[in-house]
Chains A and B, each alone.
Chain A
Amino acid sequence: MLKTSPLSGIYRNHSVKLTEVSGWQIAENFGNQERESEHLKNDSVLIDWSHIGKISLSGGDAPKAAEQVFKGTSKLEPLKTLAKQDMAVLCLTRNDYLILCQPGMETKLLEIIDPKITTVTDQTGSQGCIVLGGPRRDEVLLRSTAVDLRRDKVVAGSVLQSSIHTVSMTLYRTKNLDIMLHPRNLSESLYDALMDVGIGLGLVPGGIATVPVSFEEGK
């Protein structure tokens, strides 16, 4: 059986080219990859990364558990992150972490983490992940949240728990992307609202061929 993105309903309204990644059926592009790349360069693009692995560590000795998968993360200050190409560890509070990883990699990580020292929850299926890229993505966010997300305030490599279009989420900012992790059941609403404000700002939906999953550019 295939795993489907919470945006599968959106896919049906576009000429999406689907691809299979680690059992997930995900959008490779929304019909015109050249156009998506152009928008990524000049305007803004919204990508569905719902298939990335997401593991939460909460309570107990969460820093120790985080350290088991990524060295150095136990020393992270809250709202800071540590990332490499295939994984990012987001420190939400002193004792709450969210680990993002390449699709399918979460199974391996779950085997490494000792569930006795913290509450380990695989959030891969319960959370959607929408990514904004492109130079005009700040303008989209300016129409989307009452939170001050200016780049001198929320620098690349930061993570914050925020609300965008009234949807509570974890926002992870990298140099070129804003990664929004949110409840799966609100994914389509969030997509609708972002695309709605993105009219006139050159926002188009894009696939993972336009912005492949990578967490490398942390700072």
Chain B
Amino acid sequence: MAKRITKHQNFELPNLGEEISFTFNGKRIKAFAGDSITSALIASGSTLLSRSFKYHRPRGAYDVFGQGHESLVMVNHEPNMLADRIQVQNGMVVKSQNVWPSVEFDLGEVNDLIVPMLPNGFYYKMFHKPKWLWPIAEHQIRKVAGLGKIDVAGTHVHRRYEKHYRFPDVCVVGGGPSGLAAAKGALDEGKQVLLIDDNPQLGGHSLHSIFPVNNCENKSLNGIPENQAVQKLIKELAQNPNLEVMVNTSVFGLYEDNLVAAQSGPDLFKIRAESVVLAPGATDRHLVFENNDRPGILTARGVEKLIMCHAVLPGEDTVVVTTHDGGFHTALLLKGAGANVVAVVDGRESGSAGEFEEQVRNLAVPVYKGLTVHAAHGKKRIKRIDIGPISGGDSHKSFDCDLLVMAVGFKPQVNLLSMGRKRPEWDSERQILRVTDLPSGMYSTGEVHGSAGFARLFSEGIKTGKAAAKKKSVESSKRSEDELIMALPADIESGGKNHFICKCMDVTRFEAQASIEEGYDQVESLKRYSSMGMGPCQGKACHEAVARLAAKDTGLSSLDAVPTTMRPPFSGVSFGVLAGRAPHLSPIRRTPLHQCHIDLGVKFLDAGQWKRPDSYIDPQIEVGYVRNGLGMIDVSTLGKIEISGPDAIDFLQFMLPGKYGKFEVGRTRYSIMVGEDGILFEDGTISHLEQGKYYLTTTTGNQDAINSLFQWWLLVEDFDVQVKNLSLANAAVNVTGAESREFLQKLVKIDLSNEAFPYMHCRQTSISGVPVSFYRIGFTGELGYEIHFPAEYGESMWNHLMTEGEGFALNPFGVETQRILRLEKGHLIPGTDSDALSSPYETGVGFAIKDDKADFVGKAFLQDFKKRGIENKLVPYQLEPDDPIPDDGVAVLEKGKIAGRVTSSRLSPTLKRGIGLAWIRNEMAETGNNFTIRLANGSDVVATVLDHSAYDPEGLRLKS
């Protein structure tokens, strides 16, 4: 029976702080402030923390460091929290996950009986016939799979995800003795050091070690136990102002150029370091044997931590299974805490006894050599274990016990050293998987290269820290013979079918062998088929066992034992941490008139990053404002580029397919742009403002691209031209409608009459002292003036125009309204009505190309397009009144086959019928022809091809 201890024979117990309480599955648990959830639960006698993923087998604490899945619980409505790492708080609500009705009695445990009777990988093979069965089965499988339940609605969980950046000279990952020494080494070189550890306290395994420190190069640490030495070292480092320490912080990924990704609670840290030292240490090796997943089986370092850091004795009658003196160290700590150590089972046949073995033997604890554990018995808690030869076979002896301590060597935490770059390799001498070849600027030290004493870890850590600070190479780690720990066979083959290789995913050796027999005989395919190593711990616990057993069962030597690729994330990361918060990643572009639109109760439209007015009331009504009176739209998002200089006209001739030789001051022209491939990608207007000064407008989406394109051509061609991107410097509105002239004439001194300022002309003037330029163009199909002015006057100008326009019933309209207006007029929008294959001739803008001029961008391809002729054509069309309106993008059919597509489609409030633009085959494109549009609901509607626009085909209104 587990219990809290109040004294220990070998060291002074820590102060656990004030007494508090929390609930676990509704039951009140007493704890101390210094407890983790796991330690408090064990102390209270709670054996079961969770149930396994597939078979719902009972699971209790195992390694106590949060490496495995066993301690995943729901804390205050947040799922998948590691009970091993979370410090208890008064009033905390902790629950087991995926159990029903309770963790003690879980109906899901029926899987433990049924699933073994099903064929291996049954979910790949069953439920596929009849066809309708799989969706149902998949739904059910998905329902029972997964761990925990996220509070999607955010009813209980309110998290603020923060993103931080750090730029240390040296980043040390791991705060055990090696990491601390590495930090010291780098600090001694005067570097800024960031030291990260995923536990609440620095010190690593030394915090719970009473091994005496000897022969350490830091003389002041000699002669005292490791737990005191490491505390002394921590105190010394804490005084250094160049050190930043982050505890409770998990490094989950390492990327190019020493980018270290770490999370601490809801905070993401992106750390870019000059050098990175990895000192992740090692954990107790995972041994596979019959019922190796039962509650009551704990790792040696886990038990030591419970005793020394939390004053908890996790069991009464104890058996320690070991292969090194560390197991005897644990046995001594258990004995000192008052446990009945029934036996120490040492897999080693011979060899000199270590310091702690002698002490344990002196306490009359029975020691069995050359043997190991064969099987555990008991369901919700072990009651008995069998021991026998390490080669398996028959068991020799059984012991009644409630705690089995596993001290069968250490498994280096190589994941961070590997991270998709290099797979670990089996080191036959050290009997571990290692990664020795790291990218430049990355270093490793400590138990990740094999178990060693404090003095060696310290000295190698110091050397590595100094090398990292100087960016020099460091000599490879060394281990003496007495530091090497033999590796037991990964599976003790003693019979039975419950030898769990991967406890997260409930995969047994039996299943792995069956998968290999089915042909999945490569470690990668075996992993994918059986799902070994794909659970919450991502192979941290089992990758070594998986590699070794896969090698063995496929007839390979231990040297060929290669684990599957280890990739980030090394530890669980929530999507919230990765995503952060919206303002940081999705900037919103606002026009200078943004606030004015808000004041008018606008509905915004997202156009890329821009917020544009979609409409203020109903677009169908807004169309009426423009057609019958006066409307105004914010067109500030247009690209605006000023081109001037001696070669300006030559540059335009080269960049644009039109002719500009006779382009007089005060004129405006429609222009298209094509790429070097002749494909249409842009249209806009170009105006000759002053002698030698031109003003080009582009669509919203292309403003930066066109400016960059101009700048690029100016680098490669010899034009004496100045190009100014005024897209942000100028705001713009389009005032349009039959009354626009009369309205604007009141505000400016220039003559706006049709004779003085005709269609497709431009003028410069001022409104209330603000310099403005007027462009008489007609995207809406009505008389209209585009007015450009300095952006800083945006709000004032809009408000001024709205106020002055009151007598004319001036109304604002939005982009959706403009789309209807332009469609009534049959105007295309490049990118919406054209795509990356659209020839300008087929799109209907061939009139803007003058290919009889000297070389210009896209000329060769345009001539080729012209020769090829028209295959498909973009045409305006209309529907019959009351016909349903097709969605944008639906198909055009000819004899039941797809013959084109609709690019834009709207209901025209002016014409009271559907109108649009569609790509159809040229043979179908004759004016008056009918073609079929297939609606999204599967029904058809007949459209008629129009010659020109549906509204004012002669353009009388806009030229009036």
Interface residues of A (CB under 8 A from B): 1-4, 6, 8-9, 12, 24, 59-60, 119, 121-127, 142-146, 148, 150, 153, 165-167, 183-190, 192-193, 196-197
Q: Is the CB of B583 within 8 A of A184?
A: no
Interface residues of B (CB under 8 A from A): 162-167, 270, 272, 581, 583-585, 587-592, 594-595, 598, 610, 722-724, 726-729, 768-770, 790-797, 800
Which residues on A sit within 8 Å (CB–CB) of B164?
A: 142-143
Q: Is the CB of B587 within 8 A of A166?
A: yes
From A119, A122, A142, contact of B729 by CB (8 A):
A122
For residue A125, which residue of chain B has the nearest CB? B792
Which residues on B sit within 8 Å (CB–CB) of A6?
A: 590, 592
From B163, B769, B791, contact of A143 by CB (8 A):
B163
Question: Closest approach, in angstroms, between the C-beta of B525 and any C-beta of chain A?
Answer: 38
Which residues on A sit within 8 Å (CB–CB) of B727?
A: 126
Question: Closest approach, in angstroms, between the C-beta of A84 and any C-beta of chain B?
Answer: 25
Which residues on A sit within 8 Å (CB–CB) of B726?
A: 121, 126
Which residues on A sit within 8 Å (CB–CB) of B770?
A: 1
Q: Is the CB of A184 within 8 A of B724?
A: no
For residue B588, which residue of chain A has the nearest CB? A189
Q: Is the CB of A126 within 8 A of B729?
A: yes
Question: Closest approach, in angstroms, between the C-beta of B421 and any C-beta of chain A?
Answer: 22
From B165, B791, B796, B797, contact of A142 by CB (8 A):
B165
25 inter-chain pairs at a CB distance below 8 angstroms, sorted by A residue, are: A1-B768, A1-B769, A1-B800, A2-B796, A4-B592, A4-B795, A121-B726, A121-B729, A125-B792, A126-B726, A126-B728, A143-B162, A143-B164, A145-B165, A146-B165, A153-B167, A165-B583, A165-B587, A167-B587, A184-B791, A185-B728, A188-B588, A188-B594, A193-B584, A197-B584
Q: Is the CB of B583 within 8 A of A189?
A: yes
Which residues on A sit within 8 Å (CB–CB) of B795?
A: 4, 8
Which residues on A sit within 8 Å (CB–CB) of B581?
A: 196
Contacts A8-B595, A12-B595, A126-B727 aside, 18 further interface pairs with beta carbons under 8 A come to A3-B790, A4-B792, A9-B595, A24-B792, A59-B722, A119-B722, A121-B726, A122-B729, A125-B592, A125-B790, A144-B165, A148-B272, A165-B587, A184-B592, A185-B591, A185-B728, A188-B594, A189-B583
Which residues on B sit within 8 Å (CB–CB) of A197?
A: 162-163, 584
Interface of A is mostly: mixed
The docked-state distance in angstroms from the alpha carbon of A189 to that of B585 is 10
From B167, B610, B728, contact of A184 by CB (8 A):
B728
For residue A142, which residue of chain B has the nearest CB? B165
For the complex of A and B, the 9 pairs showing the least CB-CB separation, nearest first, are A126-B728, A3-B792, A125-B792, A1-B796, A189-B587, A126-B729, A148-B167, A193-B583, A185-B589
Interface of B is mostly: mixed
For residue B714, which residue of chain A has the nearest CB? A59
For residue A168, which residue of chain B has the nearest CB? B587
Which residues on B sit within 8 Å (CB–CB) of A153?
A: 167
Which residues on B sit within 8 Å (CB–CB) of A189?
A: 583, 587-590
The docked-state distance in angstroms from the alpha carbon of A196 to that of B592 is 23
From B162, B587, B791, contact of A125 by CB (8 A):
B791
Which residues on A sit within 8 Å (CB–CB) of B728?
A: 125-127, 183-185
Question: Closest approach, in angstroms, between the C-beta of A128 and any C-beta of chain B?
Answer: 9
For residue A9, which residue of chain B has the nearest CB? B595
For residue B723, which residue of chain A has the nearest CB? A119
The docked-state distance in angstroms from the alpha carbon of A9 to that of B595 is 6
Q: Is the CB of A4 within 8 A of B794?
A: yes
Which residues on A sit within 8 Å (CB–CB) of B729?
A: 121-123, 125-126
Q: Is the CB of B797 within 8 A of A186?
A: no
The docked-state distance in angstroms from the alpha carbon of A185 to that of B731 is 11
Q: Is the CB of A1 within 8 A of B724?
A: no
Question: Closest approach, in angstroms, between the C-beta of A41 and any C-beta of chain B?
Answer: 23
The docked-state distance in angstroms from the alpha carbon of A123 to that of B726 is 9
Question: Closest approach, in angstroms, between the C-beta of A39 and any C-beta of chain B?
Answer: 20
Q: Is the CB of A165 within 8 A of B792?
A: no
The docked-state distance in angstroms from the alpha carbon of A125 to that of B729 is 5
Q: Is the CB of B724 within 8 A of A121?
A: yes
Q: Is the CB of A9 within 8 A of B590?
A: yes
Which residues on B sit within 8 Å (CB–CB) of A165?
A: 583-584, 587
From A2, A121, A126, A166, contact of B585 by CB (8 A):
A166
From A12, A184, A188, A196, contact of B584 by CB (8 A):
A196
Which residues on B sit within 8 Å (CB–CB) of A193?
A: 583-584, 587
Which residues on B sit within 8 Å (CB–CB) of A188?
A: 588, 590, 594
Which residues on A sit within 8 Å (CB–CB) of B598?
A: 9
From B167, B792, B796, contact of A124 by CB (8 A):
B792
Q: Is the CB of A143 within 8 A of B165?
A: yes
Residue from B585, B728, B769, B790 whose CB has the most chain A CB atoms within 10 Å: B728
Q: Is the CB of B166 within 8 A of A142?
A: yes
The docked-state distance in angstroms from the alpha carbon of A125 to that of B166 is 34
Which residues on A sit within 8 Å (CB–CB) of B167?
A: 148, 150, 153
Which residues on B sit within 8 Å (CB–CB) of A145?
A: 165
The docked-state distance in angstroms from the alpha carbon of A79 to that of B383 is 73
Which residues on B sit within 8 Å (CB–CB) of A119?
A: 722-724
Question: Closest approach, in angstroms, between the C-beta of B523 and any C-beta of chain A?
Answer: 36
Question: Closest approach, in angstroms, between the C-beta of A106 and any C-beta of chain B?
Answer: 11
Question: Closest approach, in angstroms, between the C-beta of A129 and any C-beta of chain B?
Answer: 12
Q: Is the CB of A9 within 8 A of B796?
A: no
Question: Closest approach, in angstroms, between the C-beta of A196 and any C-beta of chain B?
Answer: 5
For residue A122, which residue of chain B has the nearest CB? B729
Q: Is the CB of A186 within 8 A of B724?
A: no
Question: Closest approach, in angstroms, between the C-beta of A213 and any C-beta of chain B?
Answer: 16
Q: Is the CB of A185 within 8 A of B590?
A: yes
Which residues on A sit within 8 Å (CB–CB) of B797?
A: 1
The docked-state distance in angstroms from the alpha carbon of A123 to that of B730 is 10
